[in-house]
Amino acid sequence: MSSTPEGYFIDWDGNARDANDPGNGYFTEVDKIAKYVAVKHKNGTLVHEATFYPTLEAIEKKGIKTQFVPSSQPWGKQE
C-alpha cells in the first residue's frame, strides 16, 4: 500500500473521515488503485476496512448520505 493520499473514507458510524487523519489514535494505509483503506490501531491491528474516495463529492455521487467529521470527533466504538 502507498503512503496515505488525500481523500476520504466512511467510518463504522457512517461518517466521512480524512484518510490522512482518521482520529482516535488510528492510522491508515491506502491503496488508491484498489480504492481501499485499512484503518489500524497504533499497535498495527486492523480495526476497520473501507472504500477510498478522492473527494467528498465522489462519496455524494455514489448516493451515500454522510457528513464529514474532524479527527477530533471520537469514533462511536471505543477501544
pLDDT, one tens digit for every residue, the chain (79 residues): 445 568 999 999 999 999 999 999 999 999 999 999 999 999 999 999 999 999 999 999 999 999 999 999 999 754 4
Q: Has residue 69 been placed in a domain?
A: no
Cβ contacts of residue 61 below 8 Å, gap of 6+?
Answer: none
Rounded distance between C-alpha atoms, residue 23 and residue 73, angstroms: 7
22 in any annotated domain: yes
Q: Classify residue 29: in a domain, yes or no.
A: yes
Q: Show Cβ contacts of residue 30 under 8 Å, excluding neighbours closer than 6 positions.
A: 1, 2, 3, 4, 5, 7, 19, 36, 37, 38, 52
pTM: 0.86
Asked if residue 33 is part of any domain, the answer here is: yes
Domain that holds residue 18: 8-61
